[in-house]
């Protein structure tokens, strides 16, 4: 069974490769960044893609978006995504696709070898493998900010303190371009389209303060 693996941490990538190969999977390519993932998926058309949601260069959702883009060219491509934290929006985006096996596991589950290997096989066979914690959060009643990622909530908190994009970038040790992308994601997720009448930055902060 052929696998394309995407994980930016070298030790984890090597460990996952060895683990999969020990259970008779063939890792045809292992990449460490988002831009390399889509070409690999289109080249090899694997039986299953095991993908970290967040990959370089921006560590947002490159892994997921590359996998979803590959599904347009390879309908039904089985995708098992791995994430450090539960991010319900990403889980919903993955599940909203039509056809093909899907899975969403927290990285902590990888330490349970049997559970992880079973999830890979289930997804490759066209089934679903969802982390219990992900399911729990998807079913829970969600507050407005719950759809934001941890980093997006950090950015919004800094916005609430009146910091500029440059100041937030310096505070969080990431680029100003990345901050702009996070802020645009916040506006999109909080359903705040561009408007001549409203200051979306103020509205986003008000949502944060009222949550």
Q: Are residues 85 and 115 in the same domain?
A: yes
Q: Are residues 54 and 135 in the same domain?
A: yes
Q: Are residues 101 and 184 in the same domain?
A: no
Calpha distance 183→58 (Å, rounded) = 13
User: How many domains is the chain partitioned into structurally?
Assistant: 2
Q: Are residues 87 and 121 in the same domain?
A: yes
Q: Are residues 96 and 126 in the same domain?
A: yes
Task: Indicate the pTM of the whole model.
Answer: 0.66
Tell me the residue length of the chain: 211
The band of 203, judged by pLDDT with boundaries at 50, 70 and 90, is confident
Query: What pLDDT, in 10s, does the model give residues 78-122?
Result: 999 998 877 767 777 777 665 678 888 989 888 899 989 999 998
Least confident segment among 13-17, 30-34, 181-185: 181-185
Residue 48: φ, ψ to 5°: -160, 145
For 118, the token pair is 């079973």
The band of 126, judged by pLDDT with boundaries at 50, 70 and 90, is confident
Q: Are residues 77 and 33 in the same domain?
A: yes
Mean of the per-residue pLDDT values of the chain: 86
CATH code at 164?
Answer: 1.10.10.10
CATH code at 133?
Answer: 3.40.50.2300
Which of 11, 57, 53 minimizes the C-alpha distance to 35?
57
- Model pLDDT, residue 128: 82
Q: Where is the domain boundary, 139, 154, 184? A: 139
The domain in which residue 164 lies consists of: 144-210
**pLDDT tops 60 at residue 197:** no
Q: Are residues 29 and 88 in the same domain?
A: yes
């Amino acid at each position: 069974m052929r696998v394309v693996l995407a994980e930016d941490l070298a030790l984890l990538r090597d460990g996952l490769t060895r683990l999969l190969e020990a259970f008779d999977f063939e890792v045809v390519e292992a990449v460490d960044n988002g831009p390399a993932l889509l070409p690999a998926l289109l080249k090899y058309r694997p039986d299953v893609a095991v993908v970290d949601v967040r990959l370089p260069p921006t560590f947002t959702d490159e892994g997921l978006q590359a996998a979803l883009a590959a599904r347009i060219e390879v309908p039904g491509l089985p995708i098992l995504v791995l994430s450090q934290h539960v991010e319900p929006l990403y889980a919903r985006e993955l599940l909203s696709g039509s056809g093909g096996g899907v899975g969403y596991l927290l990285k902590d589950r990888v330490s349970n070898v049997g559970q992880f290997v079973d999830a890979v096989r289930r997804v490759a066979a066209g089934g679903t493998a969802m982390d219990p914690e992900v399911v729990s959060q998807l079913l829970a009643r969600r507050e407005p900010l719950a759809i934001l990622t941890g980093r997006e909530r950090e950015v919004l908190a800094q916005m609430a303190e009146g910091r500029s994009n440059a100041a937030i970038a310096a505070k969080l040790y990431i680029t100003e371009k990345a901050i702009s992308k996070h802020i645009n994601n916040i506006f999109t997720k909080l359903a705040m389209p561009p408007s001549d009448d409203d200051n979306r930055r103020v509205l986003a902060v008000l949502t944060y303060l009222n949550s």
